Amino acid sequence: MLDTSHLAQQTTAAAAAAAASLQVRQQAGEDLRVCHIACGWDHSLAVTRTGTLYTWGAGQYGKLGHGDEVARVIPTAVRGLQSAKVKVVLAEAGCEHTAAVGADGS
């Protein structure tokens, strides 16, 4: 029989870390109301009402959009889009990629 008990432990730990991170951001005054979520094979993403894209999960091939291949268990804002002043309205995740659409069509 396949032992998957470690998956539940990892998922619980990741969920707790994500919740703690969101609480910190809320205390800092960020609007974290999520209007869209998507899940890939091993990464996830969320778009807030203010147009910020958050990604987390496995980072291989740069699919999280942070300019590296580092895995993240805490939802992390994609700063490159923010610095380019792109307000994300929709984003999707695939097996090894993430795609986002800005309000201006970019």
Q: What is the predicted pLDDT for the residue at 101?
A: 96
Q: What is the predicted pLDDT for the residue at 102?
A: 95
Structure tokens at 33: 């109301």
**Comparing C-alpha atoms, which of 75, 2, 68 is closest to residue 39?**
75
**Is the predicted pLDDT of residue 100 greater than 90, yes or no?**
yes
Mean pLDDT of the 15-20 span? 57
Mean pLDDT of the 9-20 span? 55
Q: What is the predicted pLDDT for the residue at 34?
A: 86
Give the integer Cα–Cα distance in Å for 46 and 43: 11
CB 78 within 8 A of CB 54: yes
Per-residue DSSP letters for 8-24?
HHHHHHHHHHHHHHHHH
pTM: 0.74
**Is the predicted pLDDT of residue 32 greater than 50, yes or no?**
yes
